[in-house]
Structure 1
Amino acid sequence: MALEDKYVNPFTDFGFKKLFGSEPNKDLLIDFLNEVVLPSRHKIADLSYAKNEHLGQKELDRKAIFDLYCVGTNGQRFIVEMQKAKQNYFKDRSVFYASFPIQEQAKRGDWDFKLAEIYTVGILDFVFTEDSDKKEVRHEVKLKDQNNRIFYEKLTFIYLEMPHFTKTEAELETAYDKWLYVLKHLPYLEKRPVALQEKIFTKLFEAAEIAKFSAAELAGYEASLKYYRDLKNVIDTAIAEGELRGKTVGHLEGLQEGLEQGLQEGLKKGIEQGIEQGIEQGIEKGIEKGIEKGIEQGMIESKKLIARSALAENMPIEIIMRLTGLSQEEIEALR
């Protein structure tokens, strides 16, 4: 596969970990966390990478694998993830992941239960459904009481909805703006923007330059990029197919229901005038109801389409379950 891009795509697993998950580039992650995650708090001076795979206390407990997991000098825990596509129960998963760095702080013997701060950071290549009509990029979530007062200060969830970040290079003012801009536009840039001349971005662009990759790194990136593009294509295709199927089913059901209701109305008001007026009103109401049913059926078919495409790409069943919300039995039946 020929790579025409100059810089690595940070939304691929390889690209994200190349820029933020290696010891030589640790200062990139520190600056990102200080400027984007902790802009109004005490900054971290250093951090160490921790094991990004956690197992439950019991054999049957589900395994949790984070993209990046690190610990600050004051004991703060940071889980940082790139999320490429929507999935069912994504927020539940964030809470589940946050439970591991909490539990690992437990000490044997006498312990006062004092915990270090936990930050779960999600860099999202999509927007939450409830935020589709809003333009907020950064969401900071804490536990609050009924009076909107913070109940617990040490557990924070931060989500960055990248599609909502629309600033141009000329509009970049803060380090926060610049970090979001470079994350969103890096794989599409041909040269380093004038607005990103700080030393930290000099290092980022050097680390991101594909031409400097070793043969092994290039092979790893190509595989990661292919997976990212295939996944994105599957999702885009499923959405388009779902919308088309929903419109088609809705149109046909709407026509049928509209004709039936139109005939009933027509009989009440007179054969000639009633049929004409009833069909018009019935079709309008029927199409609306039919589209609603069609969209629902379309979503079900879309999930199956995603699963079939993913099976064709030999993706693991566990990943397909997360992408579609289908059970293992339902996915196996599609083979």
Structure 2
Amino acid sequence: MSNYIRFDWAMKRLLRDKANFAVLEGLMTTLMKKKIIIKRLLESESNQESEYDKYNRVDLLAEDETGELLLFEIQNNNEYAYFQRMLFGTSKLVTEYINRGEGYEKIRKIYSINIVYFALGSGTDFVYHGKTEFRGIHNNELLQLSPFQKQTFKADEVSQLYPEYYILKVNDFDRWSKVPLEQWIYFLNTGEIPEDATAPGLSEAREKLQLDKLSPDELKAYYRHLDNVVILRDNIHTERAEGRAEGRAEGRAEGRAEGLEEGLAKGKAEGIEEGKKEMALRMKAEGIPVEIIARCSGLSAEEIEAL
């Protein structure tokens, strides 16, 4: 086991302390390739932790010295509509942080930083950056700000006025590197910080996020959190594996009588359904709320209660 605290737990408890801002600042500086200084943390409807999300997601909202908003989210559990969720989070912030009667020029710049521990979409990279641009449909010309707009908004490009998104798909990245951003991805996935780490913020993480600095009560709570994260991940993997295995077995047996293709399809469907129920039962036994079980298994609350 790693000697350092998982980053999602650190964001819940430790990194909200101003004395520990340097860790988050290091990650942002490395990711965005410009110096980021966090001025304060803010509360938002979008980043309030709910009872049902305490195991599989973490939100944190920060403001930097320039007044720009940095929305961090860590997601441990697969969510097929996560792209829309990112959009919802930034849209809420746009409306929350402008006062009634203020002009649109007061809308705040938002960066949405998403650390996901599951396979989001289809792509082979592990860091993605998204921003809004407008191009001519006839000549592909990039629409630019006027000189007056540049001076007024203190921006060079239209995209600087819109939210920007970063997605860090860290789950499968386990190779150490001399590249600062890759060092951060390695730490986010493995929880390890090798001695030759040079990325901004990692030296602070090595100092601030050591397990042996937790109190006995904090350590117990931390291990409970780890158990719940592992349960969420293992249940998904188990459900998929059991579904495939049972589907193949039943498919082969029924295929002799009904035809191989039909039997395989039926066996796979029944195997997946049984796998979902097994997963739901294990999660119920761990005391995980029905809402989270339903989200993970695809079963309805009524089906879960009947198990």
Same fold (TM over 0.5): yes
Among candidates 110, 116, 126, match of residue 108 of structure 2: 116
Question: What amino acid sits opposite 2:101 in the alignment?
Answer: G
Question: Cα distance, 1:52 vs. partner?
Answer: 5.0
1:75–1:116 CA contact under 8 A, matched in 2: yes
CA distance in 2: counterparts of 1:308 and 1:327, whole angstroms: 13
Question: Cα distance, 1:51 vs. partner?
Answer: 1.4
Residue correspondence of structure 1 range 200-219 to structure 2 within 5 A:
200-219=201-220
**1:174 maps onto 2:182 in alignment:** no
How has the CA–CA distance of structure 1 residues 72 and 296 changed in structure 2, closer, same or farther, with 3 Å as cutoff? farther
Residue correspondence of structure 1 range 320-331 to structure 2 within 5 A:
320-331=293-304
Residue correspondence of structure 1 range 41-52 to structure 2 within 5 A:
42-51=34-43
Match of 1:315, SS? Answer: coil
2:25–2:201 CA contact under 8 A, matched in 1: no
CA distance in 1: counterparts of 2:106 and 2:172, whole angstroms: 37
Match of 2:171, SS? Answer: helix
Residue aligning to 2:247: 246
Q: 1:194-241, CA deviations, whole angstroms, 9 ceiling, x for partnerless residues?
A: 321567322211222111212232122122122222223322322221
Match of 1:95, SS? Answer: helix
Larger radius of gyration: 1
TM-score (norm 1): 0.72
How has the CA–CA distance of structure 1 residues 109 and 87 changed in structure 2, closer, same or farther, with 3 Å as cutoff? closer
Segments of 5+ residues of structure 2 without an aligned counterpart are: 49-56, 144-157
Residue aligning to 1:24: 19
Name the % identity.
27
CA distance in 1: counterparts of 2:127 and 2:105, whole angstroms: 31
Question: Cα distance, 1:293 vs. partner?
Answer: 4.3
CA distance in 2: counterparts of 1:226 and 1:163, whole angstroms: 17
How has the CA–CA distance of structure 1 residues 108 and 66 changed in structure 2, closer, same or farther, with 3 Å as cutoff? farther
**1:333 maps onto 2:296 in alignment:** no
**Comparing 157-166 and 309-318, the one that deviates more:** 157-166
2:174–2:190 CA contact under 8 A, matched in 1: no
Question: Cα distance, 1:314 vs. partner?
Answer: 1.4
How has the CA–CA distance of structure 1 residues 298 and 34 changed in structure 2, closer, same or farther, with 3 Å as cutoff? farther
Residue aligning to 1:295: 268
Residue aligning to 2:52: none
CA distance in 1: counterparts of 2:47 and 2:19, whole angstroms: 28
Q: 1:133-166, CA deviations, whole angstroms, 9 ceiling, x for partnerless residues?
A: x431012233456858698551222211113424
Match of 1:163, SS? Answer: coil
Match of 1:30, SS? Answer: helix
CA distance in 1: counterparts of 2:283 and 2:81, whole angstroms: 20
1:28–1:200 CA contact under 8 A, matched in 2: yes
2:41–2:63 CA contact under 8 A, matched in 1: yes
1:76–1:117 CA contact under 8 A, matched in 2: yes
The alignment of Structure 1 onto Structure 2 pairs a total of residues equal to: 280
Among candidates 288, 293, 302, match of residue 315 of structure 1: 288
Question: What amino acid sits opposite 2:4 in the alignment?
Answer: Y
Among candidates 52, 66, 81, match of residue 73 of structure 2: 81
Residue aligning to 2:6: 9
- Over the residues paired in the alignment, what is the CA RMSD in angstroms? 3.0
Match of 1:230, SS? Answer: helix
2:47–2:59 CA contact under 8 A, matched in 1: no
2:180–2:198 CA contact under 8 A, matched in 1: no
1:80–1:122 CA contact under 8 A, matched in 2: yes
2:129–2:165 CA contact under 8 A, matched in 1: yes
Residue aligning to 1:185: 190
**Comparing 192-201 and 142-151, the one that deviates more:** 142-151
Residue correspondence of structure 1 range 229-244 to structure 2 within 5 A:
229-244=230-245
CA distance in 1: counterparts of 2:226 and 2:58, whole angstroms: 19
Question: Cα distance, 1:256 vs. partner?
Answer: 2.7
Residue aligning to 1:34: 29
CA distance in 2: counterparts of 1:225 and 1:142, whole angstroms: 34
1:88–1:324 CA contact under 8 A, matched in 2: no
**1:136 maps onto 2:125 in alignment:** yes
Question: What amino acid sits opposite 1:22 in the alignment?
Answer: D
TM-score (norm 2): 0.78
CA distance in 2: counterparts of 1:320 and 1:306, whole angstroms: 8
How has the CA–CA distance of structure 1 residues 5 and 139 changed in structure 2, closer, same or farther, with 3 Å as cutoff? closer
1:87–1:325 CA contact under 8 A, matched in 2: no
Segments of 5+ residues of structure 1 without an aligned counterpart are: 57-64, 259-285
2:181–2:199 CA contact under 8 A, matched in 1: no
Residue aligning to 2:87: 95
Q: 1:52-72, CA deviations, whole angstroms, 9 ceiling, x for partnerless residues?
A: 54499xxxxxxxx85211122
1:87–1:324 CA contact under 8 A, matched in 2: no
